[in-house]
Amino acid sequence: MSKTILVTGAGRGLGRTLAEQLTARGDKVIAHARSESALDGVPHDRKLVFDLAEPAAIADAVAELGLERLDGVIHNAGVVHIGTVAEQSLEWWQQTLTINITAPAELTRALLPALRAARGHVVFVNSGAGISAGPKWSSYAASKHALRALADSLRAEEQPNGVRVTSVYPSHFATDMQRSVREQYDADYDPARATSPDSIAKTIVDLLNTPADMVVNELRIEPPNPLPIRARS
């Protein structure tokens, strides 16, 4: 049976791959991006255009969709700034926390009536940094630890309503963000030692198709032989 799934950050990378795989299996995709042009070439049934850096606009944007039922939302969009605590500016902190945690929380709140009506599924694309934080990851890891807390609270609150909640923790997969991280670290990057977006997307799509009598609360994903992030000597 066809489902309606909202994907944030659908304009590129994992989000675009998710939109492609969901559409290929017959689902209807509501594609989110910061601009309409970002969705050029992205398969979707409907679009949701707003900047996650401005979460005050989310409720009105969702209301315009007029959703009565929503089978799932995949919180995929995010930003990362690499630097020591001494280097992290106030602007970096504010942008990272707003986009990575405040916006997903507000979007989820706005979507909850439709998710409850469909007994839907909320998937948070987290990170290994949401489990443990290393040097130069402070703002990003803080936002991802907070995202884990949001997922845990939401899961406990919405169980009586039949809403399922999953946190996915992919590590070292081939995206523009991973390349950006390596560049900021001045570290080598080998996509052959990273998990492909296709594999991550397939795993998330499969999670959305789990039987109604079960839920995967958390899932960690790593490549078999990841290249450590170390600055070139």
Return the sign of the alpha-carbon dihedral for residues 219, 52, 107, 205. negative
Q: Which of 140, 169, 185, 189 is catalytic?
A: 140
Which residues, listed in sequence order, are joined to residue 170 by a DSSP beta bridge?
A: 221
Cα R_g (the chain), whole angstroms: 17
CA distance 199 to 197: 5
CA distance 149 to 131: 11
At 95, the amino acid letter reads Q
Query: Is-catalytic flag, 189?
Result: no
Active site (catalytic) residues: 140
